Amino acid sequence: MPVPTLRGQRVVVIGGSSGIGFAVAEAVLAEGAQVVIGSSKPANVEAAIAKLGKGATGYAVNVRDEASVESFFAAAGGFDHLVYTAGDWDRAQTGPIAELDFAAAASGLEVRFWGALRAIKHALPHLSSKGSITLTDGVRTHKPAKGMPLSSAYGAAIEHLAKGLAIELAPVRVNAVCPGLILTEVWNSVPPERLARMTERIPLPQAGDPADVAQAYAYLMKGGYTTGQVLIVDGGMMLI
């Protein structure tokens, strides 16, 4: 059997203009794939394509807007793998449940959960039946924190969406990556000493490199007998 490779395949990364998605785009290009990235700000998409270089294209897409998602996939054309890493950070914090603002809470799911479903719906007509979909959640799913029960709930929704869709969409494979603390641009404003304190007790006592977590996505794209799984990449955080 030949060793699985992404060479010659087309990979769409929604959220590929920065952070984990950008690292996934770099990883698949390094394997000889072509990548199509999407994110909401045209300038971010253009800058990322320029940085990624040969083999990378992309378009602006706002995953809050179904028509925008549909146009994005029409422009992207046929492809083999969908990776979804889009996430927004300007959501209102949900705070104490006694004060829950339901509109803010629902809006917190727009990009990470409903956006993923919008992407999957409109990707399907263009996605190879031998291909895959890889979603993204985070460690709060398994390590709840005070004041963040909705983060645990949304992550569980993503993980179980992956399992349900693995049945629904087979033979297309559907999986999820659950990252721990990964050193992307969103942590730029956090002082290094605080990041060190946040990670000092985990078995691999540092923040993860986006390039390392990108390998989890690469595996799930290539692992032709893997579906309905969640791959945790957290430096062992789950163990403590």
Ligand X SMILES: NC(=O)c1ccc[n+]([C@@H]2O[C@H](COP(=O)([O-])OP(=O)(O)OC[C@H]3O[C@@H](n4cnc5c(N)ncnc54)[C@H](OP(=O)(O)O)[C@@H]3O)[C@@H](O)[C@H]2O)c1
Task: Say if residue 2 is preceded by a cis peptide, omega within 30 of 0.
Answer: no
Q: 16 and 37 in contact (C-beta within 8 Å)? A: yes
Q: Are 24 and 84 in contact (CB under 8 A)?
A: no
DSSP track, 64-112: T-HHHHHHHHHHH-SEEEEEE----S-PPP---GGG--HHHHHHTTIII
- Closer residue to ligand X (CB): 126 or 143: 143
40 lines the binding site for ligand X (CB under 6 A):
yes
Please give the distance of CA 226 from its chain centroid, rounded to a whole number: 17
- SS3 for 163-212 is HHHHHHCCCCEEEEEEECCECCHHHCCCCHHHHHHHHCCCCCCCCECHHH
Binding ligand X (rule: CB under 6 A), the pick from 34, 94, 136, 152 is 136
Q: Which residue, 127 or 213, is less far from ligand X as judged by CB?
A: 213
Q: From the CB of 13, what's the least distance to ligand X, in Å?
A: 9
Binding mask 171-200 for ligand X (x = CB under 6 A): --------x-xx-xxx--------------
> In the complex, what is the shortest distance from the CB of residue 107 to ligand X, in angstroms, rounded to a whole number?
11
Query: Which position among 10, 19, 120, 131 is part of the footprint of ligand X (CB under 6 A)?
Result: 19
Within residues 52-111, the interface with ligand X by CB under 6 A covers: 61-64, 85-88, 111
Q: Which stretch binds ligand X (CB under 6 A): 35-43, 100-108, 165-173, 188-196?
A: 35-43
Nearest C-alpha neighbor of 133 from the set 233, 7, 31, 12: 12
Residue 9 within binding range of ligand X, rule CB under 6 A: no
Tell me the closest approach of the beta carbon of residue 208 to ligand X, in angstroms. Answer: 7
The footprint of ligand X (CB under 6 A) covers 15, 17-21, 39-41, 44, 61-64, 85-88, 111-112, 136, 138, 179, 181-182, 184-186
